[in-house]
Amino acid sequence: MSIEVKIPAVGESISSGIVSVWHKKSGDRVKAGEPLFTLETDKVSTEIVAEKSGLLTTNVPEGQEVKIGEVVATIDDITTAPVAQSDSPDAKNKAADTKSIPADKTSGNADVLSPAVRRIVDEENIDPQEIKGSGKGGRLTKGDVLAGAQNHASHSPTGTRAADRGESAAASEDGRFTRKKMSPLRRKIAAQLVMAQQTAAILTTFNECDMSEVQALRAKSQEAFTKKNGVKLGFMSFFIKATVEALKAVPSINGRIEGDDFIQNHFYDIGIAVGTERGLVVPVVREADKKTFAQLEHDIAEYASRARDGKIKIEDLQGGTFTISNGGVYGSLLGTPILNPPQSGILGMHAIQQRPVVRDGKIEIRPMMYLALSYDHRAVDGKEAVTFLVRVKECIEDPKKLPLDF
């Protein structure tokens, strides 16, 4: 008996997606719960798993756009291997070829690859055996396979891998550029950014904060915190706590405009911007005001891991009231973040840099960070924006003003 593999509903506003990569090929045997393919939509990438064990037959190629509810494969729960049922020369040759494959080239090798590495290997259609691993015990890291994919691309005919995935890619006659379709996620990001610029009166105010006290407190508490909670104490949890305190002081930033109405939120669901290979996603830390530092760090680590592995869920991205973006992890010294509609504010963190500052009439070298608050001037006045940013600065420079629980 066979069952149909249909594209599931992954969100109210999502009507279609792209089968970006098949993790199992047509004719493979699959087990219940194993990932079959990755569905890429304009919001998230989701791994679709097998509902039962059996023989997989795929109906659509990689790169094809599919509608919600469309049948993309079938799984037949036959108990006898197809090779054993057939005496045809092709079947025998296929069986012989399978037996001749070295053990380290079989699908069992996927067990030693992390989900992120396996995803890149599948999408870029490269052989992991051809790449030298720099990880522990020679294991492949994301950096290894990304470098391998880039090297593979430079030695391959233009557009070959794109064609293999069903994408339309066309090289210019002189080979100076390649044209291909943007991914649904990238198209959505582009549309959201343009919409934010066109519909909101975006203004940005800046300040800077001295990170000395937070760094000292973090260094002093790190060992005990990590031992107790199984996760490191980072800077983001301090900024989430400081943001909640600032939103309580300036409630208008924790709201949004809807038509002719202003919606004031009385809860604090903070979005944390996470950069991935496919683009920026913003998972939401729920009820941040009620969570401990340890709970915040666990949430941040889990979301970041799931986002980069393409396992983030649509519900993880919905309902945020305010966003924090940390460009400092990439070395950004100063920038103006763009609003995440329909929110009224976004806080931009930047790189920590040793700079000369004046303290008590003396010049001292301190670890300083520039802060940027972009806000919707339709809902938030300049005085409120400045007050918010000053409150964040005060909480970071004097962490005792935060509800410390470690």
Question: Looking at residues 356-365, what average pLDDT do you find?
Answer: 95
- pLDDT value of position 150: 61
Which DSSP category does 52 fall into? S
- pLDDT value of position 395: 98
Determine whether 381 is an active site residue. Answer: yes
pLDDT band for 159, please (50, 70, 90 cuts): very low
Q: Which CATH number fits domain 1-100: 2.40.50.100, 3.40.50.12160, 3.40.50.1240, 3.30.465.10?
A: 2.40.50.100
Look at strands 322-326 and 345-359 and give their pairing. Answer: parallel
Domain 104-181: assigned CATH number: 4.10.320.10
Element (H, E) at 242: helix 236-249
- pLDDT value of position 368: 98
Highest mean pLDDT among 27-31, 174-178, 372-376: 372-376
Model confidence at 393: pLDDT above 90: yes
Rounded-to-integer distance, Cα 328 and Cα 187, Å:
25
SS3 content of the chain, % helix, strand, coil (to 5): 40, 25, 35
Q: Which two tokens stand for residue 65?
A: 């756009």
Residue with tokens 């909670």: 229
**Tens digits of residue pLDDT in 53-94:** 999 999 999 888 888 899 999 999 875 444 444 444 554 454
Q: Which two tokens stand for residue 155?
A: 């030695």
Active-site residue identified among 164, 381, 398, 405:
381
Q: Which two tokens stand for residue 1?
A: 């008996």
- Closest of 267, 266, 255, 260 to residue 380, by C-alpha: 255
Bigger pLDDT: 329 vs 97: 329
**Verdict on whether the full-model pTM lies above 0.85:** no
CA 70 to chain CA mean position, Å: 26
Determine whether 23 is an active site residue. Answer: no
Rounded-to-integer distance, Cα 8 and Cα 37, Å:
12
Question: Looking at residues 268-282, what average pLDDT do you find?
Answer: 86
Q: Measured between alpha carbons, how far is residue 282 from residues 75, 167, 357 in Å?
A: 35, 27, 34
- pLDDT value of position 140: 78
pLDDT band for 166, please (50, 70, 90 cuts): very low
Model confidence at 287: pLDDT above 90: yes
**Tens digits of residue pLDDT in 288-310:** 999 999 999 999 999 988 887 77
Rounded-to-integer distance, Cα 95 and Cα 84, Å:
9
Q: Same CATH topology for 104-181 and 186-401?
A: no
pLDDT band for 283, please (50, 70, 90 cuts): very high
**Tens digits of residue pLDDT in 251-273:** 999 999 999 999 999 999 999 99
CATH architecture designation of domain 186-401? 2-Layer Sandwich (3.30)
CA 249 to chain CA mean position, Å: 31
CA 113 to chain CA mean position, Å: 19
- pLDDT value of position 90: 52
Q: What is the arrangement of strands in the sheet containing 322-326, beginning at the earlier edge strand? A: 202-210, 362-376, 345-359, 322-326, 270-272, 284-285
CB contact burial 203-215 (16+ within 10 A = b; e otherwise): eebeebbbbeebe
Residue 201's CB is within 10 A of a number of other CB atoms, namely: 10
Going from N- to C-terminal start, the domains of the chain cover 1-100, 104-181, 186-401
Residue 110's CB is within 10 A of a number of other CB atoms, namely: 14
Rounded-to-integer distance, Cα 81 and Cα 89, Å:
16
Active-site residue identified among 28, 76, 309, 377:
377
Residue 95's SS3 state is helix
**Tens digits of residue pLDDT in 198-233:** 889 999 999 999 999 999 999 999 999 999 999 999
- pLDDT value of position 215: 97
